[in-house]
Amino acid sequence: MKILLLEDNKKLNETITKRLKLKNYNVISFTDGSDAYENITEGFSCFILDINVPNIDGINILKKIREYYKIVPVIIISASVELDMIKQSYDFGCNDYLKKPFFIDELEIKIEKLCNIQDSKIYFDENSYFDFKSATIVIDN
């Protein structure tokens, strides 16, 4: 599974990335909102977004994600406990909201529940298929 992680705290970003890679997830991490924004169309199965990040905040990235992906899960991780911010996140289509500080295990549980795509493939014909786990199209091997 390919996951986009946006977290501007470098230590937390590294910790989450390392932990998810141990679970064999393909994690592409960003610390800057504009860098994440430019990459949201790269075939991700799950998005994990912090709200308060440099340049483009997580809410605006969430809005853009929903233009491309209606059903791909988005988990917001944020230190903000303002009810308006939490409500706004859900209004714009986040699937879950995790308040910092949190246990990495809790994030893993949410990813397993919301984002874990089984090893399923959709075959277009006998020589081509889409592999959900790797988010790739295979044609003639």
Q: What is the signed CA dihedral for 133, 135, 138, 141, rounded to 10 degrees?
A: -50
What is the rounded distance in angstroms from the CA atom of residue 55 to the CA atom of residue 4? 17
Q: Which of 43, 71, 59 is nearest to 6 (CA)?
A: 59
Q: pTM for this one?
A: 0.82
**DSSP code, position 123:** E
Cα 74 from Cα 114, distance rounded (Å): 9
**Which one-letter DSSP state was computed for residue 36?**
H
State which residues of the chain have pLDDT below 70: 116-119, 132-135
Mean pLDDT of the chain: 89
What is the pLDDT, as a whole number, of residue 134?
63
CA distance 67 to 69: 6
Residue 99 identity (one-letter amino acid): K
As a whole number of angstroms, the distance between CA 20 and CA 11 comes to 14
